Amino acid sequence: MAADFQLEVEDLRFRYGSREAVAGVSFAVRPGEIFGFLGPNGAGKTTAISCVCGLLGGWQGAMRFGGETFRPDLRAADRRRIGLVPQDLAVYEELSGRENLLFFGRLVGLAGAELTAAVERALELTGLGERADDRVGSYSGGMKRRLNLAAGDLHRPSLLILDEPTVGVDPQSRNHIFAALERLRDQGRTLLYTTHYMEEAERLCDRIAVLDRGRLIGLGAAAELAEQAGVPGADLEQVFLRLTGHRLRDSA
């Protein structure tokens, strides 16, 4: 029987020294859904994602993937089930877009014809085909973001995590990224996605978790969050303000 949830996270806690950045967070992502992860600066989104991807060890709590115990911090095979599009760009400026993707593809174990096909598919998905052989140093910020997305999805992970994939990009690249995410959704892929753009989250996400100061303060579809926040029918921006007490990006 297929598991009800792709990823289950239970009572996740993580400290940087004495600072508790994630303070007991539980959520579960269903197969095929786009799950939004929202919260003001410093809420703990990137930290929680880093625990789920295996970039940070030493967390407490429990995780399951496809119904099985999941230890991405300890097992490379678990790490490979997830693709990460990191908040901080991870691309090599001296290499071309295609060379970057070949490099990242090898890192996740792809080779030969499979690697070539994965690179071509990722270039096509993100609309970078025409500039694939140019040095990344000559790309716009938006094109680098698109390359970052292409790199995370090369091995078609069961869960693709995107940490602010559209931050600071020009409208054209934003549309490309949006279209790519919608295509992945239409293919039945599972995405976990953080953004500070409420209209994006409202348009793309099936369900949304709202974090603040390391804790979950709301979880559900946008309309359910509005009910939980006591402002039924309100748009996500208003719901977010009501839940967190502040606007996005004013709390850092």
Q: Does 47 bind Mg ion (CB under 5 A)?
A: no
CA 241 → CA 122, 139, 213, 251, distances in Å?
36, 36, 15, 12
From the list 6, 46, 96, 126, which residue makes contact with ligand ATP (rule: CB under 6 A)?
46
Q: Does 21 bind ligand ATP (CB under 6 A)?
A: yes
Q: Report the greatest alpha carbon distance in the chain.
A: 55
Query: Of 44-52, 113-121, 123-131, 236-244, which segment contacts ligand ATP by CB under 6 A?
Result: 44-52
Element housing 219 (H / E)? strand 215-220
215-220, strands of its sheet edge to edge: 82-85, 159-163, 190-194, 34-38, 207-212, 215-220
Q: Return the axis-axis angle of helices 141-152 and 112-125, rounded to nearest 10°.
A: 140
Pair of tokens at residue 88: 């901080």
Least distance (Å) between residue 209 CB and ligand ATP? 12
Q: Does 16 bind ligand ATP (CB under 6 A)?
A: yes
From the list 6, 46, 50, 166, which residue makes contact with Mg ion (rule: CB under 5 A)?
46
From the list 9, 29, 43, 204, which residue makes contact with ligand ATP (rule: CB under 6 A)?
43
Please identify, using beta-carbon distances, which residue of 3 and 248 lies nearer to ligand ATP: 248
Residues found near Mg ion in the complex (CB under 5 A): 45-46, 87
Residues found near ligand ATP in the complex (CB under 6 A): 16, 19, 21, 39, 41-47, 87
